Amino acid sequence: MTETFKIKGRISQVLSTPAADPEVARQHFAAKLTVETDPSDVHYDLQHELDSFILLDVRSSKHFEECHIKGAIGFPQSKISPESTAHFPKDKLIVTYCWGVACNGATKAAMKLAALGFQVKEMIGGIEYWRREGFEIEGTLGDAAPLVG
């Protein structure tokens, strides 16, 4: 039976599902961080020349040419296969990104790469949030490129 939580005479939507035990929550969030990173952390590593990962822009080749993160490799997620990724080292993390929170291309790419035996993380927020944070981009359109696809 679900317990009802009322505050000021109204049912709380936040408390209608009880919070997890702190240890369960810690494990959940620790697991989440093993498969995600964010633009700020990627930027920090790139700025400090920490080359512990390969950064893949998994949007279309056209969109990559127009605007991408400096140092990223354009690699559309639809092209990922055992043959096309054979040159990537299996001992180096691959970080995928696409447009932003409304795009699941980076998620699809990460899933495909993991199935091929690569260690992967998805950069949440994609290039949209990279640009919103004011980080450097390059490409034929640069800052004039669309913010979302």
- Mean pLDDT within 14-35: 94
Q: Give residue 4's pLDDT band: very low, low, confident or very high (50, 70, 90).
A: low
Please name the helix (run of DSSP H) or strand (run of DSSP E) that holds residue 24, with its range, or none.
helix 22-33
- CATH code of the region 37-142: 3.40.250.10
Q: Which residue has the higher pLDDT, 9 or 39?
A: 39
pLDDT digits (tens, 9 = 90+) for 75-116: 999 999 999 999 999 999 999 999 999 999 999 999 999 999
Contact (CB, 8 A) for 56 and 75: yes
The domain segmentation of the chain, as residue ranges, is: 37-142
- Mean pLDDT within 71-78: 97
Helix intervals (H) in 36-145: 39-47, 61-66, 105-115, 126-132
Q: State the first-to-last Cα distance of the chain, in angstroms, to the nearest integer.
A: 45
Helices then strands, counting H and E runs in the chain, come out as: 5, 9
